[in-house]
Structure 1
């Protein structure tokens, strides 16, 4: 239970308990529960969309759903996406890219990347509403957080230190196995289309992680956030194309 609470508090704005001390090993153990946290986020999004769908036009509802997810997560992954875009597309050396990503200021590539993400996400959520696929709002955060698990457990960490280092160092391969079980439990009962979304999410998470590893020599906490956001867009895209 402690590991799940840590995962929930780290990936969302929910603060359930501050009574226990958190060690680096605890952060690593929390990784196995990331898909479950995604399911919690997904239930919130799905519940809101179902309650509001009869009263709010789809295009406005799509905006509200995106804003709700950002409110629940505190924009954690969006920040990582912008930092990653600034670093990767700077065209600098590995060391300079890592330095740029550590800078709290947002550059032009970060703004453009975030703008493109929002536009893509809004368009695909609107198309999803047309296709009658509200259930994707549940599975999208699940697969987005599973993308982080793949990145953490299957690829090296680029920095010698940092918060993300604790996740990468102490997660272990068992975290990937447990996360796969959780993700399949959420995915398979929803049918073949959603299972196709799972395959697309896994493939994308692996490919983008490999690409960034070639550029940086590993991944960082910012990259984990970027992978989450981009994987969610891939899930929406696969669903819209398949349907």
Structure 2
């Protein structure tokens, strides 16, 4: 059952498919949430492995762009799509109900384009700077792990804004045990990687809670799109922490 839940999470969050699942119940979706950080570890291993092997063979600006594209290919852009829809809704300046309607609209607005462009530019810039450091592999590995832990925090801690949707299944059937399991997974992954990893984990947890509260205030709850946005924003935070590691460690002394 646990393996099936992990495969459900893997196939939902990535383009990796082991077998075709005809029907996935809402309960099965909910049970898969606890494995989100583990799926992040799979993505992180691919990114870190590619970055490690390709470093020295490509110009670093090309490699940085390749890593950004590789993550999009691995995930199918599912979280970026959520960020775009969220930007369209939140920055529309409309009432709460209208924001939710805009987020559900499949058409792409100006705010979505600007948000996605900013995401790509920031992620490329951060990875580019990290490629010349000795922590790039750890940063690439932990970035998707902590991003998906942030999603679990959002799913299990905050109310859902809509009466239906795939995100509703996550929120309805993933309880506190899923959060504890996901957090323990992230801690185990981060422990061997040193102080910067621990600081990044702590910052990601705090950031996810703050983002969740903000989006709840704006939208009256979270949605599947918001989960994706929280993942993307947390990934940026992880890269920022690793890039500013010397200052952070000095400040914590």
State if a TM-score over 0.5 links the two structures: yes
Partner of 2:251: none
State the 1:57 CA deviation.
Answer: 1.4
State the 1:230 CA deviation.
Answer: 0.6
- Whole-Å separation in 1 of the counterparts to 2:6 and 2:210: 28
Classify the secondary structure of the residue corresponding to 1:204. Answer: helix
Classify the secondary structure of the residue corresponding to 1:135. Answer: helix
Partner of 2:55: 53
- Whole-Å separation in 2 of the counterparts to 1:50 and 1:118: 21
State the 1:194 CA deviation.
Answer: 1.0
Question: Which ranges of structure 1 fall in alignment gaps of 5 or more residues?
Answer: none
Query: If the length of structure 1 is used for normalisation, what is the TM-score?
Result: 0.98
- Whole-Å separation in 2 of the counterparts to 1:128 and 1:155: 33
In structure 2, relative to structure 1, the CA distance for the partners of 1:117 and 1:19 (3 Å cut) is: closer
Deviations 1:43-83 (A, max 9, x none): 00011111100201111100000000000000000100000
Partner of 2:110: 108
Query: If the length of structure 2 is used for normalisation, what is the TM-score?
Result: 0.94
For residue 98 of structure 2, the aligned residue among 89, 96, 99 is 96
Classify the secondary structure of the residue corresponding to 2:94. Answer: coil
In structure 2, relative to structure 1, the CA distance for the partners of 1:19 and 1:215 (3 Å cut) is: closer
Classify the secondary structure of the residue corresponding to 1:188. Answer: helix
Question: Which ranges of structure 2 fall in alignment gaps of 5 or more residues?
Answer: 247-253
For residue 232 of structure 1, the aligned residue among 206, 231, 235 is 235
Partner of 1:186: 189
Partner of 2:152: 149
Classify the secondary structure of the residue corresponding to 1:157. Answer: coil
Runs of 4+ residues deviating >2 angstroms? 18-21
- Whole-Å separation in 1 of the counterparts to 2:187 and 2:18: 27
Partner of 1:31: 33
- Whole-Å separation in 1 of the counterparts to 2:59 and 2:203: 29
Q: How does 1:121-132 map to 2 (within 5 A)?
A: 121-132=123-134
User: How many pairs does the alignment contain?
Assistant: 243
What is the root-mean-square deviation in Å for CA atoms of aligned residues? Answer: 0.9
The answer as to 2:142 corresponding to 1:139 is yes
State the 1:19 CA deviation.
Answer: 5.4
For residue 76 of structure 1, the aligned residue among 75, 78, 89 is 78
- Whole-Å separation in 1 of the counterparts to 2:28 and 2:81: 24
